Structure 1
């Protein structure tokens, strides 16, 4: 017996879908190019490759844009092509170009793109990047708003609920954690020795508080909750599917807050403490 079809494809791509889908593809390509640069460029910054930060941001933005592209593709055509969504897509595109352009440029110069107050330009760009980051993240909340009001959304109610909860919850928690990190001027809590142990690739501190763990979980709530909703539908748990999604979203939000609280108290992440 065939499993129920969760979504169906839309036939035409409006500007909004081109932007989100195109940005996803562009970041995947940039990720591949940056990987090659990582392998060939021996320069380091804070003990890791100068290309480590662009690499992480490219991958994260590819996932984020892909998530938004998927959600927008399920909207009815009038909402996809409406002025509201087109405006959100345009702002998202400009913000992404500014954010990633500066991060990549600074990496090529062997300099920090974040928390760099060495010159007036660097201080100004850090503020500009903060605004761009809010736009990039906030686009998810705008998409969630459109999904919530689309009575013809091309997915079941469980998946729709997962998308709305994931995008809205992820937006709020991401912005809150980001602004606290920015306000503190560092993602670290307490002294970080020059050669402190860090997790491979992410660079998270293995010995002290690192607010980026909670920020990472907040951002990827946008994918985790919709995926959980899709799996609930696939599992055919019927009436309990929506309750499962609500519970999963709540637990994920609690996890973010717990990790953030631990980091603020100078302790490493739960999974690091437990030895995973």
Structure 2
């Protein structure tokens, strides 16, 4: 299979995650146990899917590198090992019927959580190295460059937000609890939440900006694909300048949304119950995004160049 040659360790991990996702979905149906208010295997499904997406994305990117290729290959390999270890621990704890994150209730649980924490740091550091390598491997298209680079940068920010969750809460410190850290702000984990996702509907939840941020690496490149497809019908998006400017605008808006969601979560506020201050901030972001997008679309491109494959071939023929 050609795609398995992109970056073999990451692609093998992707295959394992696809298999684990199918197994965990079946286990969710067959196993009636719950943990922190959700089906006990739901966490495995979510993490396996997320790792699957990460693995395929970076395997494809690293395969495109012409510079820093060896360094990026090793970074991808370290990320694959770290993610594989993390999922192995999560599955182990699910089988044991207990939580994996923040769990220091017994020496074994503490050792597994510490191993997981180290693996997460390794994955984040490896992704930093691979993201730096991206800067030395530009594509011929400016919009794609912007999407890939900003997407990688924002995904690192989103991943780093996970470190906010490992801080023990004041209640945990006061009680001497063996759980040291929490997803939820203002409440204990396991309260009412959104179906499957489990994101708190009663308090702040740091998993939301964490999740949204991490997947910028997929969503911003997806925007480029949409813009390139729209160029067949919308003349404005045929310009490389316009597409690049729209992607940069989207990246700025994306960063603002991550900041807003983080701020909202840290104030202990549920994402589905925003207060007036949160709504006002969201309105400002929406208005600024709309104004910026309109300004880009109505502005005449400076050079009128296009970079869609069909347009590029036409220009080459006429020249």
Q: TM-score, normalised by structure 1?
A: 0.84
Q: Is the 8 A contact 1:188 1:209 kept in 2?
A: yes
Quote the residue 1:242 is aligned against: 244
Kindly indicate whether residue 184 of structure 2 is the aligned counterpart of residue 188 of structure 1. yes
Q: 1:192: Cα distance to partner?
A: 4.3
Write the mapping of 1:169-180 to structure 2, written as runs, cut at 5 A.
169-175=154-160, 177-180=161-164
**Counterparts in 2 of 1:77-226, with a 5 A limit?**
79-80=68-69, 82=70, 84-151=71-138, 153=139, 156-175=141-160, 177-184=161-168, 185-192=181-188, 196-226=191-221
Q: Give me the whole-angstrom Cα distance separating, in 1, the residues matched to 2:210 and 2:266.
A: 12
Q: Offset at 1:178? A: 0.9
Structure 1: gaps (5+ residues): 1-9
* Range with greater deviation from structure 2 (121-130 or 34-43): 121-130
Give the alignment's TM-score, normalised by structure 2: 0.74
Deviations 1:19-70 (A, max 9, x none): 2222222111110011111111122212322211111100110011111122
Secondary structure (helix, strand or coil) at the match of 2:102 reads coil
**What per-residue deviation string (whole Å, max 9, x for no partner) do you get for residues 174-207 of structure 1?**
21x111111241111113496x421011101112
Cα root mean square deviation, aligned: 2.3
Maintained 8 Å contact 1:158/1:241: yes
Structure index of larger Rg: 2
Equivalent-residue separation in structure 2 for 1:109 and 1:73 (angstroms): 38
1:4 equivalent in structure 2: none
- Partners of 1:139 and 1:272 in 2: CA distance: 37
Instruction: Name structure 2 gaps, 5 residues minimum.
Output: 169-180, 232-236, 276-319
Q: Which runs of 4+ in 1 moved over 6 A?
A: none
The Cα shift of 1:86 comes to 2.8
